[in-house]
Amino acid sequence: MRAHSDMLDQVLLNEADLDVEAGDAARAGGRLGESKALLEAAYPNDIANAWRYAVWDTVNAELLAMNGNVPKRRV
């Protein structure tokens, strides 16, 4: 099951990334939510799997930026 969840997680994450590029925030958000649930079920949030969470966080940050949720820059 772990390999299947990993593959599905990656497919959903890639689709979410494409949705962000296409400007479809609603679809991207839904897919990101599904992807995160599978990611957390298959891989613990520890140092060995940090890269998996970093990739997810990158797509999530793109979605947040697309929606105007950009952190203010510190001077």
Does 19 map to a domain? Answer: yes
Count of all residues that appear for the chain in the document = 75
CA distance 73 to 2: 39
Residue 75: pLDDT over 90: no
Does 47 map to a domain? Answer: yes
Does 72 map to a domain? Answer: no
Q: Which pLDDT score is estimated for 54?
A: 93
From residue 50, give the alpha-carbon distance in Å to each of 33, 40, 45, 55, 74: 18, 11, 7, 9, 26
Question: 63: helix, coil or strand?
Answer: helix
Per-residue pLDDT, averaged over 10-19, amounts to: 95
Does 14 map to a domain? Answer: yes
Residue 12: pLDDT over 70: yes
* pTM to 2 decimal places: 0.82
Does 73 map to a domain? Answer: no
Instruction: Identify the domain containing residue 53 by its residue range.
Output: 2-66
Residue 43: pLDDT over 70: yes
Per-residue pLDDT, averaged over 27-33, amounts to: 97
Cβ-contact 9, 42 below 8 angstroms? yes
Domain count, the chain: 1
Does 74 map to a domain? Answer: no
Does 75 map to a domain? Answer: no
Q: Which pLDDT score is estimated for 57?
A: 93
CA distance 56 to 19: 14
